Structure formats: C-alpha cells, structure tokens
Amino acid sequence: MIGKAIYNLCTSMSGLTALVGQRFYPVVMPEGTQMPCLVWRIRGNPAYTKSGVGHEETDVDFRIFAGEYDDAIDIFLALRSGLEDIRGVYNGVTVSGGRITNFFDDYDREAAAFFFEVTINFKHS
C-alpha cells in the first residue's frame, strides 16, 4: 500500500523538507502543529487480474498548510517537482509513476492557514 511509502517519499525530498521540516502527517494534523505542514489521505483503486491484484493506482490527496500564501505555493511546487513521474522503491513499495490529477487553493479559518490541496495518482505494487 502506498501509505507505507508516503512519509519516506516526502522526507527524501530535500527541497520539500527545507520548507516543511519533518511535519508530514497521515489523515489529520495534530493539534498545535507548527506551520507549514503537510497532511495526506489515501483513496485506492486496485487493478485486478486473473491472478489477483496486479498493480494499484492510488490517489493521494496532499493538503499543504502555511501561514503565508506564497509559502503554500513554494511547498506545492516542491511537492510537484519531487513526486511527478517518480519511480523507485520506497519503504518496500515499488512506485512506477505519479501524476497530478487535481489541485486547488483555499483558506482554512480553523487552522488560520492558507492551503493547497493536491491530488497525485500513484501507480505502485
């Protein structure tokens, strides 16, 4: 499952960690988290063959939170640069491609932060 690889993927990108540090979280941002940070959630689409699951395509929604709009854009660009067309083995998961399928910006009043939500479709096994 791609979830095992996401933290490893994100922390392996020096351009991204320079902006976010190690503040990468699955599903929910812990209360009191310092900005900027990145939260992800997973939506899977297994591809079945006669012999079982051959590969999976999984959409990962990354939500980038930052105090300043320009910081959110910089983090989005670093994430995009690092994950589009990525290939390799990350925490035991073979990733054979990533492509952005959707993104949008907004402001989260509860978090008092700007955010970008970016959906990246990963092919993996």
Quick: pLDDT tens for 98-118: 899 999 999 999 889 999 999
What band does 84 get if pLDDT is binned at 50, 70 and 90? confident
**Dihedral sign, Cα of residue 13, residue 38, residue 120, residue 41:** positive
User: Which contacts qualify for 32-39: CB closer than 8 Å, 24 or more apart?
Assistant: 35/65, 35/66, 35/67, 35/113, 36/64, 36/65, 36/66, 36/67, 36/71, 36/72, 36/75, 36/113, 37/64, 37/65, 38/10, 38/62, 38/63, 38/64, 38/65, 38/75, 38/79, 39/63, 39/65
- Cis check: omega of the bond before 36, within 30 degrees of 0: yes
Report the pLDDT value the prediction gives residue 46, as an integer from 0 to 100: 67
Domain that holds residue 97: 3-124
Q: Please report, for the domain that includes residue 9, its CATH number.
A: 3.30.2000.10
Report the pLDDT value the prediction gives residue 57, as an integer from 0 to 100: 84
Q: Domain tally for the chain? A: 1
Quick: pLDDT tens for 18-74: 999 999 999 999 999 999 999 999 987 666 666 665 667 889 999 999 999 999 999
